[in-house]
């Protein structure tokens, strides 16, 4: 399971992340690709995301301030409208009283029947009036019309009466009074023809006023109510105190205009508080109109918008991150691959140079050694001849054996020097059309006997329709002989040797020679094309076969690659061009 | 076995002498010389059954010697026996009509086999 996950991750994980080409390290231009990758991602993330986030924050602030000012404006407008309505309500009724005292003679006013008639007419015209009374200069009630039996009462000590004497007009707070029901008193001072003073007083129901106020209330988050100047709540409020209780908010400072301010209420909720001191043209009133909007409720639309923006910015950030990571990984991987290809080419070039140098050196050494070797050969041969011809020594097998050892050693040295000379040889390439199946068959002729004897199965699979390639037949055969020999030495009796050929792209063919023999450890693979590198035990190999093969393949403008696993076998893959140009050789 | 008359041309004197002795033991009569000029003179005088010729001679290069031998005695088979042979040398020698191009060190049995081969071909 873990292996499977690792394999799955291996395919999507960029190649450079598990950089493991120690033998190529010296040839790489950059050493730490993970660092390049991380720096690239950091830079891109910073340059891409910082502007986005800054713009988002600025946008937030702009939006917030514009929403705030819009809310303020709306609250102010609402407060103004409500103020106008309340002012008009009061003014209308005060003017009605003024009109009554100016128009109707004192005698008629003090006539209870007439007064009842006037009250009826006023109720019809304006509504909201409960009763009407005429009060003398002394505070004694002269006439009364209304549902309550208040005739003969003395108002000389009442607050409203004292105020009214001073200012001609009077509007009271809402209070319960003798009748024990919330009401407002309005009064007008007037003069009789003889110069004495009397007052016309009316009582207003609060319901009409409350109705008027509540008609301006919009939504669940706004409320409009009246307080008096000492902060006692006059009309019902849902959140800021019952009627006739002290309001839980501070009383706003006096201002002749409608005002709006941001504030916090006693429960720390953010509110917009609009207020206006109500005063009519002819009289001041004790009322302050309060318009309270709870900001949280009003901000719902804005919060929805903000949540949308948050989602959008979040998704954008995620998309940018994904794109940056993918792009960065891709680019760094490209860079890594290009660098790796370059490193491989450089390593290969170095190897080729090394091979060429070793080849030249080897050839020189071979030349110089061959002559003394020939002399040793002949001298030892002559000694042997003498022994063989002399009766005394002919039967001394030990002595003859020693001489044979010398001759064998010379022969072995001779083989090495011949191979070295072949390795360095500047050979000419003769191009002809070669059919791969024929070339392979020709090579295998030499191995039929050994294969039969050792019970090695040789499978050849060359498609019939594979076109002939233009190359040097002799060198191709030499390559094949070397590799087949190599394979025969590597496999045990009864193993399988597989030779396949197939087209590789439009202008190349690929020959694969694989065996299921002893294989080679991975650490040996980079060295197997080096001269004198051999894994064969004892004196079996010179270490030149594969080096020569490598040189030959390169001569034919091809490539040779090897894969091997210990105890599983070795596969050589040769790629050759279908056509090589003679002039470029 | 017939008693072949051979010429060994090699600047490595001890090698040439030793080879002559060994071939002598095998029933050949060998003349030995150590440079090209001498070889040409001997070839002009005697009709050898076989000439073993080294390439790196002190006076004349082996290929040139071969060419001149062939001018003097076209029918004498010449075996080039060299420690320094390159592919160009081999090609040049084969073009000039050398019988074989062999590398030192050469086993005596191999040489005897070639001798036998030539012996069979010659009348």
Inter-chain CB proximity B15 and A428 less than 8 Å: no
Q: Both tokens of residue A360?
A: 């030249």
Q: What is the CA radius of gyration of chain B?
A: 13
Do residues A344 and A253 both lie within one domain?
no
* Helix or strand run (H / E) with residue A92: helix A33-103
Classify residue A421 by burial, with Cβ atoms within 10 Å: 0-12, 13-18, 19+: buried
Do residues A460 and A414 both lie within one domain?
no
Do residues A317 and A385 both lie within one domain?
yes
Do residues A331 and A415 both lie within one domain?
yes
Structural domain harbouring A193:
66-298
The last residue of a domain, from among A379, A402, A426: A426
> Is the Cβ of A394 closer than 8 Å to some Cβ of chain B?
no
Count how many domains chain A has: 3
Strand A284-294 vs strand A259-264: parallel, antiparallel, or unpaired? unpaired
What percent of chain A has a predicted confidence (pLDDT) above 90? 18
Per-residue confidence (pLDDT) for residue A359, from 0 to 100: 66
HEC string of A295-350? HHHHCHHHHHHHHHHHHHHHHHHHHHHHHHHHHHHHHHHHHHHHHHHHHHHHHHHH
Chain-centroid distance of CA A338 in Å reads: 28
A492 DSSP 8-state letter: P
Mean pLDDT of B67-93: 86
The answer to whether residue A10 sits within a structural domain is no
The answer to whether residue A127 sits within a structural domain is yes
pLDDT tens digits for A277-291? 998 888 888 999 999
Q: Which domain CATH number covers A148?
A: 3.30.450.20
> Is the Cβ of B106 closer than 8 Å to some Cβ of chain A?
yes
Classify residue A265 by burial, with Cβ atoms within 10 Å: 0-12, 13-18, 19+: middle
The answer to whether residue A329 sits within a structural domain is yes
With a CB cutoff of 8 Å and minimum separation 6, the contacts of A339 are A28, A29, A30
Burial A370-405, CB ≥16 within 10 A → b, else e:
bbbbbbbbbbbbbbbbebeeeeebeeeeeeeeebee
Per-residue confidence (pLDDT) for residue A583, from 0 to 100: 42
- Nearest chain A residue to B14, by CA: A375
Do residues A274 and A305 both lie within one domain?
no
With a CB cutoff of 8 Å and minimum separation 6, the contacts of A105 are none
The answer to whether residue A35 sits within a structural domain is no
How many CB atoms sit inside 10 A of residue A262's CB?
13
Inter-chain CB proximity A374 and B105 less than 8 Å: yes
Do residues A421 and A437 both lie within one domain?
no
Confidence of residue A352 (pLDDT cuts 50, 70, 90): low
Q: Which domain CATH number covers A543?
A: 3.30.565.10
pLDDT tens digits for A488-511? 888 888 888 899 998 888 888 999
Per-residue confidence (pLDDT) for residue A224, from 0 to 100: 92
Confidence of residue A423 (pLDDT cuts 50, 70, 90): low
Do residues A546 and A469 both lie within one domain?
yes
> Is the Cβ of A402 closer than 8 Å to some Cβ of chain B?
no
Do residues A152 and A265 both lie within one domain?
yes
pLDDT tens digits for A428-477? 566 788 888 888 888 887 787 788 888 888 888 888 888 888 888 778 88
Is residue A529 within 8 A of residue A578, CB to CB? The reply is: no
Confidence of residue A542 (pLDDT cuts 50, 70, 90): low
Q: What is the value of ipTM here, to two decimals?
A: 0.85
Do residues A436 and A526 both lie within one domain?
yes
The answer to whether residue A570 sits within a structural domain is yes
Do residues A110 and A256 both lie within one domain?
yes
CA distance B33 to B73: 17
Do residues A467 and A565 both lie within one domain?
yes
The answer to whether residue A269 sits within a structural domain is yes
Is residue B60 within 8 A of residue B86, CB to CB? The reply is: no
Classify residue A556 by burial, with Cβ atoms within 10 Å: 0-12, 13-18, 19+: buried
The last residue of a domain, from among A362, A391, A426: A426
pLDDT tens digits for B5-64? 999 999 888 899 999 998 988 888 999 999 999 999 999 998 899 999 998 888 999 999
Chain-centroid distance of CA B85 in Å reads: 14
Inter-chain CB proximity B108 and A381 less than 8 Å: yes
Confidence of residue A365 (pLDDT cuts 50, 70, 90): confident
Per-residue confidence (pLDDT) for residue A43, from 0 to 100: 94
Would you say residue A194 has pLDDT above 50? yes
With a CB cutoff of 8 Å and minimum separation 6, the contacts of A250 are A231
Which domains are delineated in chain B?
20-84+95-106 (3.40.50.2300)
The last residue of a domain, from among A426, A455, A484: A426
C-alpha dihedral sign at A523, A527, A533, A535: positive
> Is the Cβ of B22 closer than 8 Å to some Cβ of chain A?
yes
Per-residue confidence (pLDDT) for residue A427, from 0 to 100: 44
CA distance A514 to A100: 126
Q: Which of A17-21, A50-54, A527-531 has the highest mean pLDDT?
A: A50-54
**At CB < 8 A and 24+ separation, what contacts does B91-95 make?**
B92/B63, B93/B55, B93/B62, B93/B63, B93/B66
The answer to whether residue A174 sits within a structural domain is yes
Do residues A443 and A412 both lie within one domain?
no
Mutating which of B10, B24, B25, B83 best tests the A interface, going by the most A Cβ atoms within 10 A? B83
A526 DSSP 8-state letter: G
């Amino acid at each position: 399971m873990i292996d499977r996950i690792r394999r799955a991750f291996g395919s999507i994980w960029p190649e450079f992340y598990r950089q493991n080409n120690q033998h190529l390290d010296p040839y790489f231009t950059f050493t730490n690709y993970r660092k390049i990758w991380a720096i690239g991602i950091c830079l891109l993330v910073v340059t891409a995301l910082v502007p986005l986030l800054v713009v988002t924050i600025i946008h937030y602030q702009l939006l917030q301030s514009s929403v705030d000012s819009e809310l303020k404006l709306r609250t102010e407008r609402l407060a103004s409208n409500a103020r106008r309505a309340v002012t008009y309500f009061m003014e209308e009724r005060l003017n009605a009283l003024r009109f009554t005292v100016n128009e109707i003679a004192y005698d008629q006013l003090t006539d209870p029947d007439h007064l009842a008639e006037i009250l009826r007419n006023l109720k019809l015209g304006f509504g909201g009036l409960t009763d009407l009374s005429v009060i003398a200069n002394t505070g004694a009630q002269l006439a009364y019309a209304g549902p309550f039996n208040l005739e003969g009462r003395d108002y000389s000590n009442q607050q409203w009466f004292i105020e009214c004497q001073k200012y001609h007009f009077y509007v009271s707070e809402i209070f319960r009074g003798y009748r024990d029901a919330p009401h407002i008193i309005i009064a007008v001072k007037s003069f009789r023809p003889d110069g004495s003073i009397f007052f016309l007083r009316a009582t207003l129901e609060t319901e009409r006023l409350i109705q008027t106020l509540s008609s301006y209330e919009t939504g669940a988050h706004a409320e409009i109510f009246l307080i008096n100047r000492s902060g006692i709540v006059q009309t019902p409020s849902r959140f800021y105190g019952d009627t006739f209780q002290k309001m839980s908010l501070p009383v706003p400072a006096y201002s002749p205009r409608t005002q709006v301010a941001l504030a916090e209420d006693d429960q720390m909720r953010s509110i917009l508080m609009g207020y206006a001191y109500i005063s009519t043209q002819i009289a001041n009133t004790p009322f302050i109109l309060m318009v309270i909007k709870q900001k949280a409720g009003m901000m719902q639309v804005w919060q929805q918008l903000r949540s949308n923006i948050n989602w959008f910015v979040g998704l954008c950030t995620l998309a940018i991150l994904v794109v940056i990571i993918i792009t960065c990984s891709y680019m760094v991987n490209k860079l890594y691959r290009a660098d790796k290809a370059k490193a491989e080419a450089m390593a290969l070039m170095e190897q080729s140079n090394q091979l060429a140098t070793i080849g030249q050196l080897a050839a020189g050494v071979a030349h110089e050694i061959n002559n003394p070797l020939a002399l040793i050969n002949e001298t030892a041969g002559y000694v042997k001849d003498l022994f063989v011809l002399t009766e005394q020594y002919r039967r001394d097998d030990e002595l003859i054996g020693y001489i044979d050892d010398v001759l064998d050693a010379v022969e072995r040295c001779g083989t090495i020097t011949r191979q070295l000379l072949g390795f360095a040889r500047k050979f000419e390439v003769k191009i002809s059309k070669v059919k791969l199946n024929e070339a392979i068959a020709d090579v295998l002729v030499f191995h039929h006997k050994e294969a039969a004897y050792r019970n090695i199965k040789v499978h050849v699979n060359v498609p019939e329709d594979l076109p002939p390639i233009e190359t040097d037949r002799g060198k191709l055969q030499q390559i094949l002989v070397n590799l087949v020999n190599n394979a025969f030495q590597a496999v045990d009796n009864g193993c399988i040797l597989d030779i396949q050929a197939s087209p590789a792209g439009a202008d190349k063919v690929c020959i694969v020679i694989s065996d299921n023999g002893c294989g080679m450890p991975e650490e040996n693979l980079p060295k197997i094309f080096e001269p004198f590198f051999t894994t064969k035990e004892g004196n079996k190999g010179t270490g030149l076969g594969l080096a020569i093969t490598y040189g030959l393949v390169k001569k034919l403008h091809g490539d040779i690659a090897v894969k091997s696993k210990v105890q599983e076998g070795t596969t050589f893959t040769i790629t050759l061009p279908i056509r090589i140009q003679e002039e470029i050789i | 076995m017939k008693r072949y008359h051979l010429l060994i041309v090699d600047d490595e004197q001890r090698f040439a002498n030793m080879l002559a002795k060994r071939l002598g033991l095998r029933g050949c009569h060998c003349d030995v010389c150590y440079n090209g000029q001498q070889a040409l003179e001997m070839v002009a005088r005697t009709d050898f059954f076989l000439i073993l010729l080294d390439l790196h001679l002190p006076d004349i290069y082996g290929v040139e010697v071969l060419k001149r031998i062939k001018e003097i005695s076209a029918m004498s088979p010449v075996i080039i026996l060299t420690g320094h042979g390159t592919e160009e040398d081999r090609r040049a020698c084969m073009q000039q009509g050398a019988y074989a191009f062999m590398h030192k060190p050469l086993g005596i049995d191999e040489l005897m086999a070639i001798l036998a081969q030539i012996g069979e071909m010659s009348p």
